[in-house]
Amino acid sequence: MVSSILGWSRPVKRFVSVAADLCLLSIAIWGAFALRFETFNWLPDGKQLVVSLATVLVTIGAFVRLGLYRAVIRYLSEHAFLAIIVGVAFSSVALIVFGFLFQALVPRSVPVIYGAFAFLLVAGTRFSVRAAVRRPREKAKNSVLIVGAGPKGLQLASALSQGVEYRPVGFVSLVSSNHRSVIGGLPVYSVEHLEKAVRELDASRALLALEDVVPVNRKQLLAALEKLSIPVQTVPSMSELVAGQARINDIRDLEIEDLLGRDPVRPDTAIVSESLYGKSVMVTGAGGSIGSELCRQIIRHKPKVLVLFEQSEFSLYSIERELRSISQIESLDVTVHAILGSVTHRRRCEAVLKAFGVQAVYHAAAYKHVPLVEHNVIEGIQNNVFGTWHTAEAAIAAGVERFVLISTDKAVRPTNVMGATKRMAELVLQGLSQRQSQTVFSMVRFGNVLGSSGSVVPLFRDQIRDGGPVTVTHPDIIRYFMTIPEASQLVLQAGSMGQGGEVYVLDMGEPVRIADLARKMINLMGLEEKTTDSPDGDIEIVYTGLRPGEKLFEELLIGDNPQGTAHPRILMAREVSLTWDEVEEYLGRLTRASQSFDCKAALNILIEARTAYSPNGGVADLVWCKSGAEVPEYHDQDGKVLRLS
């Protein structure tokens, strides 16, 4: 019946609505008089009949004027409810007026009774039909529990109610006193009763709709969410909504900062803006995960010129297009230049820096994937060491004011080639900082970046969606983690604070056990880990063993006496450095070793160069191993032989 009615054309539906209202209003008038005269046998006289007909027709006209018949029953809202109230009130007044004009017997209580009857019949039938129409659709929707009972939560509930995929069944408030209250017709539970809410409301998933400005104990909230047997997802941030980058009902997997379980580090925007506003800035490796996020944040500080330096054509095209769009939409008036080139070409770098009058360089170009660099030793040295050196020399020649190197925690007592090359790059800049004072060099060292191209989070997420197993190298392996925006903000902050040769690190709190992160992701996606105790679980965690050059624990500082800075979460360490003459000698030897593709000599030089490089395995360079080269012999700074197995 309902489906056949829904199939009618719009004019037919309106005609049926008008005809139904004529009948309902007539019944309401008859009922009012019958109740007033306490008889069901009441029949109107001639004048009462005229008054009744006039009232009904005028009311229909009022409903037409108020747009009631343009409203679609399925999406009937409070606006239709208000239109019915106004129309019925007008109808009651019309009954009084017509009774007076036609001198008909209309007792004073009849208009009041009629108004009540008319409202109940007109509104009741409409909302009953709406409920009947929507019930099958609502039942087909996935029931969701909204975590967050603020404006964002209410907005999300409203948007989902109008959609076709999800049906909000309740709220979870972070304020305990809101427990057992009702918002928008939906029950509210406190965080302490989260599991009870899921059970009683039969929710199929939980959606995080937390307010950006309200402080939240993320660690405690995540601990409560992990216990649920349903997937946990989130909605876009308010900044994305305001910028038009997303809609409130764009459901997505948990944000990476949510998985981190701590509040993100905030930069001192005033200091950062002062160092960037109106300047000419260049970012190397602008198409990478760190470089692209640096560009997004730099452009919002309104530099005069932003130069994107990248060797990948597609990555450069993508980030240029995105930044031009941001500049246009947000009226930033920033000139963006996309330049193809490699940081290993000094003359190219110098020409670019001089052509655009670059004042600050953020050097993000590097090979960062540990196993890949371990398998391609010479290319890793060329890009990470010589790329940094050539770009830095070009910056000095071009009169660049500031040069910031994006380093890594793997540069601390490295056990892999990637970490050793990044530590060597730090030593190069520290040597250049001693050699001259025109260009201020500083380095920013941070942990693993969640969400980057090499991060474990996207890998784990894909493995979980594919049904597992989730691969972890070792049950005890731990890492410090940052989000890409945090890492980029730290780089910008350090770039504004550097005086020359400093290594900045972030106080990131407690490190994260990778296996625990994997379990957290499995639980938050509504699944159960498969173990010997739970053989019926969904996803198994498999330990594959440490990869070449990988170590269990990462460090951020070589020394034990970090100094504070103007930012409460940023520390500074002046570590052991080399004179420029020493650095230059090592660079010359590395050049000769690289040109002859002598991995043995190159790695020996990295060990000798006071990088604290201590390889934990054999040479893994694929070409070197295929060529049948002998296993090299390494020596530490004291001359002790370090043999690779």
Per DSSP, what are the bridge partners of residue 406? Answer: 444
> Number of H helices and number of E strands within the chain?
24, 25
Nearest Cα neighbor of 514 from 549, 467, 479 is 479
Where on the phi/psi map is residue 215: left (φ > 0), alpha (ψ -120 to 50), or beta? Answer: beta
- Is residue 410 among the annotated active site residues? yes
Neighbouring CB atoms inside 10 A of 347's CB total 10
Q: What is the DSSP letter of 579?
A: -
- Cα separation, 188 vs 137, whole angstroms: 24
Q: Are 612 and 551 in contact (CB under 8 A)?
A: no
- Cα separation, 111 vs 424, whole angstroms: 91
E strands in 379-496: 402-406, 440-445, 448-450, 470-472, 478-479, 481-483
Q: Radius of gyration of the chain from Cα atoms?
A: 35
- Cα separation, 159 vs 268, whole angstroms: 35
The catalytically annotated residue of 152, 279, 410, 551 is 410
Nearest Cα neighbor of 67 from 55, 57, 81, 53 is 81
Tokens 């160092």 -> residue? 275
Task: Calculate the CA 71 to chain-centre distance.
Answer: 37
- Sign of the torsion formed by the C-alpha atoms of 443, 444, 448 and 453: negative
- Sign of the torsion formed by the C-alpha atoms of 98, 102, 103 and 107: negative
The catalytic site residues sit at: 410
